[in-house]
């Protein structure tokens, strides 16, 4: 500078994010609610992947689980009942570089949001879809949901639910262009974390059904599963979820399951006697709709208007 030799540079360090960078407001779920575990696991995944908070967005509908955007230190969108997925797809269509997480529940996704669930799986846009399934409408105080087990007494069925529940796994596996289907429970943190990490790394819609405890309105629903690990079937494979030795020790019933085998995934998901845990299906080559829907997103407003005028001119009589 000023004729003198200046051989220096400012070293700029990469940002390092801690758990606190992904924390929003204080979680107000009930004590013992499984939602706390899911929130912690998602924050850990973002921390370990060092995803920039300003490039992540959490989208939800309505329900207890749908409060999650308020508790994340990322962008968030708390939408309408059953409408989390169309909002998330819209975000991904115009801002494909954003990391999208969807928090929805069994009522929000499998009931009022059923059509959006089906089409979102088919579109296969790159997002992590977490379905918090506690088999009850918790926020509105104990109504029957699509996954409520038959016989469970609720405010809408005081003598017990009368129809067999949905099987979200077999339904999702039957949708065209499905690319990632997994199931996990909230009370096994290592498996929950590894499953969400695999879902995050998958390019496409990663559907993760999380069996989640509601200690207030449906405490008895998953009590038997919690007390009897032999009811579970742990899915193992080199292409599946990474399993910590402590996880394998907890589940005596295990099988080698290739997640690229759709027919096998159906058989495992449809077996009423065993509750699968892990990755049921994975098709990383499935096309993602945002590769088409995001075309032209880099155009300026002037270019878009010019393009619109050109098309309208073709319709002039």
Distances (CA, A) of 217 to 35, 82, 132, 249: 14, 21, 15, 31
Split at pLDDT 50, 70, 90, the class of 2 is very low
Q: Is residue 76 included in any domain, yes or no?
A: yes
Chain-wide mean pLDDT for the chain? Answer: 93
Question: Looking at the predicted structure, is the pLDDT value of residue 250 above 90?
Answer: yes
pLDDT of residue 11: 59
Structure confidence by residue, pLDDT tens digits, 181-210: 999 999 999 999 999 999 999 999 999 999
Q: Is residue 309 included in any domain, yes or no?
A: no
Split at pLDDT 50, 70, 90, the class of 307 is confident
**Average pLDDT value for residue range 276-283:** 98
Least confident of 85-89, 142-146, 232-236, 244-248: 244-248
pLDDT of residue 260: 97
Residue-number span of the structural domain to which 237 is assigned: 19-288
Structure confidence by residue, pLDDT tens digits, 57-69: 999 999 999 999 9
Q: Is residue 302 included in any domain, yes or no?
A: no
Helix or strand holding residue 118 (H, E): helix 114-123
Structure confidence by residue, pLDDT tens digits, 121-161: 999 999 999 999 999 999 999 999 999 999 999 999 999 99
pLDDT of residue 7: 56
* Distance between CA atoms of residues 201 and 17, nearest Å: 18
Q: Is residue 294 included in any domain, yes or no?
A: no
> Bridge-partner residues for 104, per DSSP?
131
Structure confidence by residue, pLDDT tens digits, 8-64: 566 556 789 999 999 999 999 999 999 999 999 999 999 999 999 999 999 999 999
**Average pLDDT value for residue range 156-173:** 96
Question: Looking at the predicted structure, is the pLDDT value of residue 4 above 60?
Answer: no
pLDDT of residue 1: 44
Q: Is residue 165 included in any domain, yes or no?
A: yes
Q: Is residue 300 included in any domain, yes or no?
A: no
Q: Is residue 171 included in any domain, yes or no?
A: yes
pLDDT of residue 6: 54
Residue 245 exposure: Cα atoms within 13 Å on the Cβ side: 0
Question: pTM score, two decimals?
Answer: 0.91
Q: How many domains does the chain have?
A: 1
Of the candidates 61, 65, 57, which has an alpha carbon nearest to the alpha carbon of residue 29? 65
Distances (CA, A) of 90 to 51, 126, 289, 291: 21, 12, 11, 13
CATH of the domain at 254: 3.40.50.970
Q: Is residue 11 included in any domain, yes or no?
A: no
Structure confidence by residue, pLDDT tens digits, 82-116: 999 999 999 999 899 999 999 999 999 999 999 99
């Amino acid at each position: 500078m000023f004729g003198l030799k200046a051989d220096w540079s400012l070293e700029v360090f990469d940002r390092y994010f801690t758990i606190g960078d992904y924390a929003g407001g204080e979680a107000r779920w009930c004590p013992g609610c499984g939602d706390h575990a899911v929130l912690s696991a998602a924050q850990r995944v973002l921390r370990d992947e060092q995803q920039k908070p300003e490039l992540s967005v959490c989208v939800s509908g309505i329900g207890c689980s749908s409060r999650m955007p308020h508790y994340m230190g990322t962008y968030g969108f708390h939408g309408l009942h059953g409408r989390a997925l169309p909002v998330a797809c819209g975000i991904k269509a115009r801002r494909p570089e954003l990391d999208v997480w969807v928090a929805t529940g069994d009522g929000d996704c499998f009931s009022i949001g059923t059509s959006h669930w089906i089409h979102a799986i088919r579109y296969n846009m790159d997002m992590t879809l977490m379905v918090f399934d506690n088999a009850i409408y918790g926020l509105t105080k104990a109504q029957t949901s699509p996954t409520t087990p038959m016989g469970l007494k609720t405010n809408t069925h005081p003598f017990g639910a009368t129809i067999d529940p949905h099987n979200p796994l077999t339904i999702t596996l039957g949708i065209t262009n499905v690319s990632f289907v997994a199931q996990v429970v909230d009370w096994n943190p290592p498996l929950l974390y590894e499953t969400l990490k695999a879902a995050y790394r998958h390019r496409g819609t990663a559907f993760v059904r999380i069996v989640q405890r509601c200690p207030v309105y449906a405490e008895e629903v998953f009590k038997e599963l919690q007390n009897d690990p032999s009811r579970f079937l742990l899915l193992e494979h080199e292409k599946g979820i990474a399993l910590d030795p402590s996880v394998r020790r907890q589940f005596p019933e295990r099988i080698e399951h290739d997640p690229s085998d759709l027919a096998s995934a159906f058989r495992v998901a449809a077996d009423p006697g065993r509750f699968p845990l892990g990755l049921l299906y994975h098709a990383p080559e499935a096309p993602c709709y945002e590769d088409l829907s995001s075309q032209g997103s880099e155009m300026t407003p002037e270019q878009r208007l010019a393009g619109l005028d050109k098309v309208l001119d073709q319709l002039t009589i």
